[in-house]
Structure 1
Amino acid sequence: MASTALEIIAFVVSISGWLLVSSTVPTDYWKVSTNDGTVITTATFWANLWKTCVTDSTGVSNCKDFPSMLALDGYIQACRGLMIAAVSLGFFGSIIALFGMKCTKVGGSEKAKAKIACLAGIVFVLSGLCSMTGCSLYANKITTEFFDPLYIDQKYELGAALFIGWSGASLCIIGGVIFCFSIYESNKTPRMGYAYNGPTSVVSSRTKHHGGGEGKTSNPSKQFDKNAYV
């Protein structure tokens, strides 16, 4: 019963993390222009994995899609691949988890379900690691440019999408670990003890077979006394 509850908790946590990771990919604000050292802000620059935009003081945004995938910076291409891999792994992990959970009627025997659930946990952990790596790589690029005194172009700060991606990745990893821990709990089955009664002699077995038990054997000294032949 405890392992079933752990599997349900792991499934909910993992699915929540996967949804957060999936919502990170189309989110606009991966990086936002910094206001450090400026007195009057007339425009806000921001970008994500697919486009770069500028929003003026009236709230009107003008966006420009990245023209060519091959002409992009290496870190953006890597982040795209990692985030798409994270979303794909989370999708397959959710399907595998449905087959491996004890509360479902698919997946085969208990032993087969345990292996499937463990596989789902590993897939969710991989999904979380991909998302964590992609967001960290993007954030490293932003912080490197921000603290570089020789960098004279527009500097950016961390956007909201990065924090959402980190949160989703953490939930996926936690859910995958709980999946594996629930399998460990289900394998801890109690062992039945057997009492050892010792070897059974031939006489005692014959006595039991003929219905003779304890207290039914007669004592010859009690049947014949000294006046028996008088």
Structure 2
Amino acid sequence: MANTGLQVMGVVLGVSGWVFGIVVCIAPWWRTSAFVGDELVVSQVLWEGLWMSCLSERGRLQCKIYDSGLALSGSMQTCRALCVLSLLLCVLALPLCITGLKCTHCLGEARDPKARLVRVGAVLFVAASFLFLLPVCWNAYVVISTFYDPNVPPVLKRELGPALYLGWVVALLMLVGGALMYLGSASPGAPLMPVFGRGGKVNPPSTAESKPEKVFV
């Protein structure tokens, strides 16, 4: 039997992950300029994201959207595509989960079809979490490897931005939300195969066939 509490909690976590995922995808705070070596000028801070870059100077923030997406590197374009695909999967999963909730009356009292809708939406949320996790982890790997590379000049080195930390939280919210929705729509007590032992009660042997058996015995 479906657990309404787990379903609702899973939807809340999934929606929260989707909303914060939009913020992370748009935010320019994926990478920030690193001040290492002899670089002592900290009045200017450069922020870089998937869609724009911002320069903070003396309390002023100036942002600029990248002129051309084709001019970006292949890894940046892949990260863009994965984030957008993850958010689109959440958009597809959300109406399925809300329609299939036990506390809603969209499909009447039909329990099995509603539970299947919730399970499909839960799988989409789990897939979205992994798709969102890939660009976050890839950017973190690039930033760390570049920071410790002695061949990279200090001007080009970056540090992890707050959007990456929030991106890991977003992936966790989507994953936990999808798992709770799937567990809340499962029916552990239902048999997978029909019970054949009840067939003898439905079609009992006739008395004409049973009497000769007793005589021969």
Unaligned runs of 5+ in 1: 195-201, 203-230
Asked if 1 retains the 8 angstrom alpha-carbon contact of 2:2 and 2:102, the reply is no
1:102 corresponding residue in structure 2: 102
1:157 corresponding residue in structure 2: 159
In structure 1, give the amino acid aligned to 2:46.
F
Give the Cα–Cα distance (whole angstroms) in 2 for the partners of residues 18 and 151 of structure 1.
Answer: 36
- Percent sequence identity is 29
Give the Cα–Cα distance (whole angstroms) in 2 for the partners of residues 65 and 27 of structure 1.
Answer: 11
Give the Cα–Cα distance (whole angstroms) in 2 for the partners of residues 41 and 105 of structure 1.
Answer: 58
Worse-superposed segment, 112-121 or 147-156: 147-156
1:15 is aligned to 2:15: yes
Give the Cα–Cα distance (whole angstroms) in 2 for the partners of residues 80 and 11 of structure 1.
Answer: 25
- What number of residue pairs does the alignment pair up? 195
In structure 2, give the amino acid aligned to 1:140.
Y
Asked if 1 retains the 8 angstrom alpha-carbon contact of 2:79 and 2:135, the reply is yes
Give the Cα–Cα distance (whole angstroms) in 1 for the partners of residues 117 and 54 of structure 2.
Answer: 44
Unaligned runs of 5+ in 2: 192-197, 199-206, 208-217
Q: How far apart are 1:62 and its partner, in Å?
A: 3.4
Give the Cα–Cα distance (whole angstroms) in 1 for the partners of residues 102 and 62 of structure 2.
Answer: 51
In structure 2, give the amino acid aligned to 1:80.
R
In structure 2, give the amino acid aligned to 1:182.
G
Question: Which structure ranks higher in relative contact order (CA pairs < 8 Å, sequence separation ≥ 6)?
Answer: 2
Asked if 1 retains the 8 angstrom alpha-carbon contact of 2:21 and 2:167, the reply is yes
Give the Cα–Cα distance (whole angstroms) in 2 for the partners of residues 183 and 128 of structure 1.
Answer: 19
In structure 2, give the amino acid aligned to 1:59.
G
Give the Cα–Cα distance (whole angstroms) in 1 for the partners of residues 78 and 96 of structure 2.
Answer: 27
Write the deviation string for residues 35-70 of structure 1: whole angstroms up to 9, x where unpaired.
2334342311111111223222x2223333222111
Question: Which structure would you say has the larger Rg?
Answer: 1
Q: How far apart are 1:121 and its partner, in Å?
A: 0.4
Q: How far apart are 1:187 and its partner, in Å?
A: 3.9
1:206 corresponding residue in structure 2: none
Give the Cα–Cα distance (whole angstroms) in 2 for the partners of residues 2 and 102 of structure 1.
Answer: 7
In structure 1, give the amino acid aligned to 2:122.
G
1:139 is aligned to 2:146: no
RMSD: 2.5
The normalised TM-score by structure 2 is 0.81
1:113 is aligned to 2:150: no
Give the Cα–Cα distance (whole angstroms) in 2 for the partners of residues 117 and 51 of structure 1.
Answer: 36
Alignment of 1:215-226 (within 5 A): none
SS in 2 for 1:150: coil
Give the Cα–Cα distance (whole angstroms) in 1 for the partners of residues 29 and 9 of structure 2.
Answer: 31
Alignment of 1:187-198 (within 5 A): 187-189=188-190
Q: How far apart are 1:2 and its partner, in Å?
A: 6.7
In structure 2, give the amino acid aligned to 1:88.
L
Worse-superposed segment, 1-10 or 68-77: 1-10
TM-aligned CA distance change 1:107 to 1:137, over 3 Å: farther
1:123 corresponding residue in structure 2: 124
Asked if 2 retains the 8 angstrom alpha-carbon contact of 1:32 and 1:46, the reply is yes
Give the Cα–Cα distance (whole angstroms) in 1 for the partners of residues 88 and 56 of structure 2.
Answer: 32
